[in-house]
Amino acid sequence: MNTLIEKLARLAAGKGRLRLMEVCGTHTVAIFRSGIRQVLPANVELVSGPGCPVCVTCDDYIDKAIAYARRDFIIATFGDMLKVPGSRSSLAEAQAAGADVRIVYSPLDALQIAEDNPRRSIIFLAVGFETTAPTQAATVLAARARGIKNLFMLSAQKLVPPALRFLLGDATAKVDGFLLPGHVAVVTGADAFNFLATEFNMPCAVGGFATEEILIALTSILEQIDNGRAEVANDYRTVVTAEGNVAAQKILSQVYTVTDAEWRGMGTIPASGLKMRDEFAAFDIEQVEPLPPCPLSLVPSPLKKACRCGEVLRGLVKPIDCPLFGKACQPLHAVGACMVSVEGVCAAWFKYGGQHFEW
């Protein structure tokens, strides 16, 4: 690995400041955990992107989940959604107040809960990117096949490539290259990111998550910058192909259709989300039991207005540039979603990057 570190130094030497964006939250955490930031050349800066599904989920979605939880539904969710603050409260607080919120590791667990509790209605909080959406689609298909009528989805799945297109269209996002999300690319295929190179002339590499794999991908990006090239290098060939997981893509399009979606801090991004096709409307809780319009009590707290998660997610500011970071906003009492998820940019900065160990 030392050879890679030396190569990075050689490639970066003599160049101005280079800002590379790691899109995926898993990368953000892996980079911090491995200590890569400390061995990078001084002029290479890593900025984190919008690749943490919990972080890009809007307050409005959390508010809805809480509202359903209070209506005696069983809410089944991935654990890191629990503490995400909505406008005024979180699912963890709803749970402490008596709501039935259960942590699952797969949407298929929610299917099991539905079968075990035939008299209750279960809502699975379907958030995530291309990585988790296929299992959610498969769960809906399985529920239909088994005739399960008490399992519903509250959907807010998002697509990564359109978000990157949006970021590059935003003149304020100054990025010199992308470390592309390996897990997403397993499903979409590396080719789904080709537009970054062809339309935006952006050097990119799909990378794995082990320390060495990340260093290899970063080297690829710097090599392209060095040669004045732009392409999508696939440095995660053990699992990522050009066309991706076709079976997963098929299941996805069987259940979902592409729609505009609202991202925290970025607003509505065209064709960046998934919604259930009409034939699956019976599994869409918002169609089966719509909530009344948002009550006035859900006006965001003043602290939330100062939160800069939106800019953090676009790579415009670092977490430490937010006035709330580490003070009003900490993992224990998070104001913004980026401080909540284990893979949230702010949480990673707080946990690994906010302090230094001298010895």
Partner 1 sequence: MSDKILMAHGAGGKLSAQLLHEIILPAFDNAILHELHDGAKIGKLAMTTDSYVVRPIFFRGGDIGKLAVCGTVNDLSVTGAIPKWLSVGVILEEGFDFDALKKIVASMAAVAHEAGVQIVTGDTKVVGRGQADGIFINTAGVGELIDGVDISAKKICAGMKVLVSGTLGDHATAILAGRHGLELPESVKSDCAPLNGLIREMLAVEPKIAMLRDATRGGLAAVLNEIATAASVGILLDEEKIPVRREVRGVCDILGFDVLELANEGKIVAVVPSDSCEKILAVMHENIYGKDAALIGEVVATSAGKVGLRTSIGGVRIVDMPAGELVPRIC
Site residues (vs partner 1, CB under 8 A): 1-2, 5, 26, 29, 32-39, 80, 83, 92-93, 95-97, 103, 105, 109, 209, 211, 215, 330-333, 342-343, 350-359
Geometric angle at alpha carbon 214, from 262 and 211, rounded to 5°: 120
By beta-carbon proximity to partner 1, the closer residue of 292 and 359 is 359
What span, in angstroms and rounded, lies between the C-alpha atoms of 20 and 327? 28
Cβ pair 132, 155 in contact under 8 A: no
Nearest of 8, 28, 99 to residue 62 by alpha carbon? 99
Helix (H) or strand (E) holding 274: strand 267-276
Minimal distance, residue 198 CB to partner 1, in Å: 33
Q: How far is the CB of 212 from partner 1 (least distance, A)?
A: 9
CA dist 222 and 336 (Å) reads 33
Nearest distance, CB of residue 351 and partner 1, angstroms: 5
Nearer to partner 1, 29 or 123 (CB): 29
Nearer to partner 1, 272 or 341 (CB): 341
Q: In terms of CB distance, is 3 or 172 closer to partner 1?
A: 3
Smallest gap from Cβ 25 to partner 1, in A, equals: 9
Per the CB < 8 A criterion, the answer to whether 57 and 264 are in contact is yes
Q: Return all residues near 122 (Cβ < 8 A) that are at least 6 apart.
A: 73, 74, 75, 76, 110, 113, 114, 150, 151, 152
- Kindly tell me which of 14 and 356 has the beta carbon lying closer to partner 1: 356
Residue 284 beta carbon to partner 1: minimum distance, rounded to whole angstroms: 26
The two tokens of residue 317 are: 């500011």
